[in-house]
Amino acid sequence: MSDVDDDIPDLIEHADVEQGKRVPLTIICGFLGAGKSTLLKRILTEKHGYRIAVIMNEFGDTADIEAKAINISSPDDPTAEGSEEFLELANGCLCCSIKDSGVAAIEKLMQKKGAFDHILLETTGLADPGPIASMFWHNEEYAYGLGRDITLDGVICVVDAVFGKQQMEEDHNTDSINIGESLRQIAGSDVIILNKTDLAEADQLIHTESLIKRVNPGSPIHRTIKGQIDLKHILGISAYTKPPPTDPSDDPPKEPHVHTADCHHDQDQEPKTTHYELRGISSLQVTCPVLKQSQFDRLDEWLRSVLWENHIPENTSAAEEGESPVLQVLRCKGSFTLQDGTHYVLQGVRSMYEISELDNSSSQGDLGLPDVGKVVLIGKGLDDNVRRSLEKVFQ
């Protein structure tokens, strides 16, 4: 038995959890100064009809927010009094200031369950959303604790339209596998908000979007000024239960396309490009046909090898990669159809992943899933060997 076996996480069955009763939670991350607080302030002050609880590291400038401050105290934990502050806002939102993003603070927020129907958690500019997302997704402790009350809806990343490109290229605050925080934020997000578009030139916007797409081709990008975005794009997206959105650029063009100055796609990309790399982090996207059961089983086996043991099945251990770069997947997504017509969604955060069957009766019609499936991996060391190995699974 290898050491790696000890680290293999247990996947938790959620059959006993009543999905409908859980409050969705959205994580907001983003580069320093990109506009996270501006977006949150907008949500806290506008009349949008949602009852949202926002968890911030600090209140910041709330002088203009009409609110009634209350303190929450718990009979079980007298020290809780005054340690967190809640503001009930005129538009129905609930604002909560916490010193850290720990579970304890969220447990205290859940004492007010019923007062809100969505939670937004703002992280600091240097935070890696991956570990926070996994905290709210699958782990044993969570499934039997807060997991009964909260479900992870998605991770949103706010990118500075002016400095975003530079931040991605110069990202020096790297982790043990040399990936900087801004790239980890983009890699781990389900929706990207490209903010401050009023300050950037058209070319700059296209270029930054193209860089973002290289790191994370599967997540939609929305351009905003001062965080002005229709909340339906960031709330209630069920990014961890629905298939990844279909990117029109995944499909081969049906008719010749004439590029104009108004085109908002990367003209340097080939139509079926499947591999990109930016400062060591790359994404790999492989399409697959309708799968036989044997191919489906092989895919599951392949994912276990890559996500849990950090090597492709052709190499019996990570050490055998020899000169190959370290293989580590930060995020994976996918959707595929089996020959019997069942549709599956793949979701993964680092070594944890889940392949779940989509409920045909309820959502299938709306999803309009094509029979051609895809697997998107974002991480380090996703080179041609990995691509070939994955393609072999589908042969």
Ligand X SMILES: Nc1nc2c(ncn2[C@@H]2O[C@H](COP(=O)(O)OP(=O)(O)OP(=O)(O)O)[C@@H](O)[C@H]2O)c(=O)[nH]1
Helices (H), the chain: 4-7, 36-45, 103-110, 129-135, 140-144, 164-170, 181-187, 202-215, 293-303, 309, 364-367, 384-393
How does DSSP assign 232-288, residue by residue?
GGTSS--TTTSPPPPPGGGSPPSS-----TT--S-TTS-TT--EEEETTEEEEEEEE
- The rounded distance, in Å, linking the Cα atoms of 74 and 213 is 46
Interface with ligand X, residue 34, by CB under 6 A: yes
- The rounded distance, in Å, linking the Cα atoms of 157 and 129 is 9
Taking the C-alpha atoms of 55, 58, 63 and 67 in order, what is their torsion angle to the nearest 10 degrees?
Answer: 30
Choose which of 9, 33, 245, 325 interacts with ligand X (CB under 6 A).
33
Interface with ligand X, residue 226, by CB under 6 A: yes
Binding span for ligand X by CB under 6 A among 42-50, 196-204, 270-278, 386-394:
196-204
Choose which of 36, 118, 184, 213 interacts with ligand X (CB under 6 A).
36
> What values do phi and psi take at 189, rounded to 5?
-105, 150
Q: Whats the size of the chain, residue-wise?
A: 395
Interface with ligand X, residue 167, by CB under 6 A: no
Choose which of 2, 8, 10, 32 interacts with ligand X (CB under 6 A).
32
Interface with ligand X, residue 210, by CB under 6 A: no
Considering the complex, state which of residue 226 and residue 275 has its C-beta at the smaller distance from ligand X. 226
Residues 380 and 328 sit within 8 Å (Cβ to Cβ): yes
Choose which of 30, 154, 188, 379 interacts with ligand X (CB under 6 A).
30
Considering the complex, state which of residue 150 and residue 162 has its C-beta at the smaller distance from ligand X. 162
Choose which of 26, 27, 38, 215 interacts with ligand X (CB under 6 A).
38
Binding span for ligand X by CB under 6 A among 79-87, 98-106, 190-198, 379-387:
190-198
Interface with ligand X, residue 222, by CB under 6 A: no
Minimal distance in Å, beta carbon 205 to ligand X? 12
Contact letters for ligand X, residues 111-150 (x by CB under 6 A): --------------x-------------------------
